[in-house]
Amino acid sequence: MAKVYDPSFAETMAKVCEINSDVGLSRFEIADEEGIFRLLHYSPVTEEKHRPPIVIVYAFINRPYILDLRPDISVVDKYLRAGFDVYMLDWGYPSAVDKYLTLDDYFDFLDKSVENIKRLKGVSRITAHGYCLGGTLTAAYSAIRPHNIKNLVLQAAPIDFSTDNPLTVWARGLNPDAIVDAYNNAPGQLLNTAFLLVDPVNLIVSKYGAFLEMLDLDGETNGFLCMDRWIFDSPAIPGETYRQYIKEWYQQNKLVKGEFKALGETADLSKIDCPLLLLIATYDHIAPPASITVLLDKVSSKEKETFEMAKGHIGITTSMSSHKDFWPKVVRWIEKHSEKLGHVPSHGNGKKVAILR
């Protein structure tokens, strides 16, 4: 007769419940706040060595701490340890009162944040790092405000929405009006289910089978739980924002056609003329390589490079292998295209004065 209760399994699961799965551990202060939007300023871990500051713009789907999941796989930490001043936009958790927020509200807070950082740091431009739809947002912003961008790093950021990957095909067939009219905001659970159903065998069944095999490996179990916590931490999207980006990006493909408008201006991608780095995941089911590389022929940048890794949309950020070679390479690229700060003793008062090299 089969066992109904396995005490060893119960003990193992009790041990799992005790594992610390805290995420987003890098210290920060809130530099600015407007409604649900926040500008986070990370605390330095070494002296500032490079300028301008890096501003990270994540998508309004899921949470930005995926870039700071654990200390050993933290993009934020890598930037900080390299001596960059790091900021991040946090789009918060929209509620019913936020249903009328549009993409312009996101662009407006991004623009306001960049101007504040320029003023606070005494710089004329920033390095922008956009990830996923945050990268789409950042690309459009860089086309509208090219004078604000020193370097542009776009990670797994769809630009051309005419690709045939399942998620994009599904989004092109959606009726966003019906969803918004029914729910006011697009529920996070609905969006998360859509992502999981893109590859249900691997993202649901196989994943938890693999988890059972790693239960005796504390480090691996911790990583799994941190990742799972992020996956299911899914904020809603304001109804009008959802209606707009599904229609104008996925269904009408306005950005790549040069028809998308924000902040009262048309986002002409040819206006982007700064050094450009595209970070591509070979097996990305959300932003396949073809949806990103189209940008290379649209911009006016003289310096443009592509770094590609054989990972998926999230694995490019959270895998140990990517943090061994890929992200150090990204850091070196940004260093190369930034101003190096040096320190020399001044005469008279004994203080050190920062100089640019």
Residue 85 a catalytic site member: no
Diameter over CA atoms, the chain: 87
Structure tokens at 18: 């005790």
How remote is the C-alpha of 194 from its chain's centroid? 19
- How far, in Å, CA of 173 to CA of 93, rounded? 26
In the block, tokens 């966003």 appear at: 176
Annotated catalytic residue within 41, 313, 323, 337 = 313
Cα radius of gyration (the chain): 21
Q: Six-digit token pair at 178?
A: 């019906």
- Listing DSSP states for 298-319 in one string gives T---SSEEEEEESS-TTHHHH-
Examine the residue annotation and report whether 313 is marked as an active-site residue of this protein.
Answer: yes
> Residues 77, 98, 132, 226: which is the catalytic one?
132
Rounded to 5 degrees, what are φ and ψ at 309? -135, 145
> Residues 68, 77, 160, 284: which is the catalytic one?
284
Is 50 considered catalytic here?
A: no
Look-up of token digits 């922008």:
128
Identity of the residue numbered 196: L
Instruction: List the catalytic residues.
Output: 132, 284, 313
